[in-house]
């Protein structure tokens, strides 16, 4: 009896220790974002306090509205949304048929094709930047939405095709065969049967592409020279270069830009790892 009790106590202490440890680790990861929030809520005058206070003395929630007047955040968000949405749509249009084809057919050069897809996932635009810049120059796509969208699409296709084909693979071929026997054409089968069944995979891919395009920095930083074409990642980094930085508004805007992304990311949590490691972790 007493042994039982002490065992229970030990497990309770262990649980509490883990919880405490978990909270401390969580705080380390959240620290920069908590600081952002604290700064975003401070009035302008308190930003340059020396030493700075840990928490704002007054909570200025309306900074989150004023940011749109104080900084060109509306414009940045607009560009970001246009680039991210178009990247997502074009990416899906290309990746869905490609993923389906790869999942269902064993064509010649399938192995080299998958290898190529895997390799392109590893090259970041940073390494290829000069090539990209020259190429975009030839096509007159520097400082255009279209140029940024195309580059974002191409760098996200690898992930999209991989994850979509793995989703299509989980749909039993028998269902499609049954539909074919019932007289459905291949396209009909794809549209009415396979596509609806792959919706979770498509949503995951869509969200992931959207976020990647939303956060993309290097290419936009290089190609988008006019403020009206810059996504917020670029705009933000340029705003911090000014002599007088409006940090409270800057961070209010940044939080507006990252909170929806974090929620989206959490919603696809369980598919993330399998997609990113391209099936190498089982």
Site for other proteins in 74-113 (CB under 8 A): 94, 97-98, 101, 111, 113
Closest to other proteins by CB, 145 vs 222, is: 222
DSSP-derived secondary structure letter, 53: P
Binding marks (x or -) toward other proteins, 129..148, rule CB under 8 A?
A: xxxxxxx-------------
Half-sphere exposure at residue 46, Cβ-oriented, CA atoms within 13 angstroms? 17
In the window 262-281, what residues touch other proteins (CB under 8 A)?
262, 264-266, 269, 272-274, 276-281
Alpha-carbon distances of 153 from 71, 89, 90, 121, 237, rounded to whole Å: 29, 9, 7, 12, 23
CB of 237 to other proteins, least distance (A): 5
36 binds other proteins (CB under 8 A): yes
In the window 184-243, what residues touch other proteins (CB under 8 A)?
211, 214-215, 217-218, 222, 233-234, 236-237, 240
Distance in angstroms between the alpha carbons of the first and the last residue of the chain: 43
- Relative orientation angle of helices 73-104 and 199-215, to the nearest 10 degrees: 140
Please choose, from the candidates 164, 189, 195, the residue with its C-alpha nearest in 3D space to the C-alpha of residue 174. 189
Closest to other proteins by CB, 1 vs 130, is: 130
Closest to other proteins by CB, 24 vs 181, is: 24
Using the rule CB under 8 A, which residue among 120, 184, 193, 203 binds other proteins? 120
CB of 146 to other proteins, least distance (A): 14
The DSSP secondary structure of 80-97, one letter per residue, reads: HHHHHHHHHHHHHHHHHH
């Amino acid at each position: 009896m007493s042994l039982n009790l002490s065992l229970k106590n030990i497990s309770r202490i262990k649980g509490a220790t883990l919880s405490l440890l978990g909270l401390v680790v969580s705080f380390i990861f959240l620290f920069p974002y908590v600081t952002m929030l604290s700064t975003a809520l401070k009035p302008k005058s308190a930003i340059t306090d020396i030493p700075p206070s840990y928490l704002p003395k007054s909570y200025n929630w309306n900074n989150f509205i004023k940011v749109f007047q104080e900084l060109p955040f509306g414009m940045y968000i607009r560009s970001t949304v246009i680039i991210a949405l178009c990247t997502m749509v074009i990416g899906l249009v290309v990746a869905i048929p490609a993923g389906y084809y790869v999942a269902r057919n064993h064509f010649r050069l399938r192995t080299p094709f998958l290898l190529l897809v895997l390799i392109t996932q590893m090259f970041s635009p940073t390494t290829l930047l000069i090539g990209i810049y020259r190429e975009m120059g030839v096509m007159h796509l520097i400082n255009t939405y279209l140029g940024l969208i195309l580059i974002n699409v191409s760098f996200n296709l690898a992930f999209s095709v991989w994850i979509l084909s793995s989703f299509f693979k989980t749909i039993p071929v028998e269902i499609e065969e049954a539909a074919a026997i019932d007289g459905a054409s291949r396209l009909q089968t794809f549209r009415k049967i396979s596509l609806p069944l792959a919706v979770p995979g498509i949503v995951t891919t869509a969200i992931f592409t959207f976020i990647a395009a939303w956060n993309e920095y290097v290419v936009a930083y290089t190609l988008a020279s006019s403020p009206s074409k810059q996504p917020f990642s670029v705009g933000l980094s340029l705003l911090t270069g000014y002599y007088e930085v409006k940090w409270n508004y800057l961070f209010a805007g940044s939080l507006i830009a990252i909170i929806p992304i974090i929620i989206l990311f959490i919603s696809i949590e369980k598919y993330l790892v399998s997609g990113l490691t391209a099936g190498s972790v089982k």
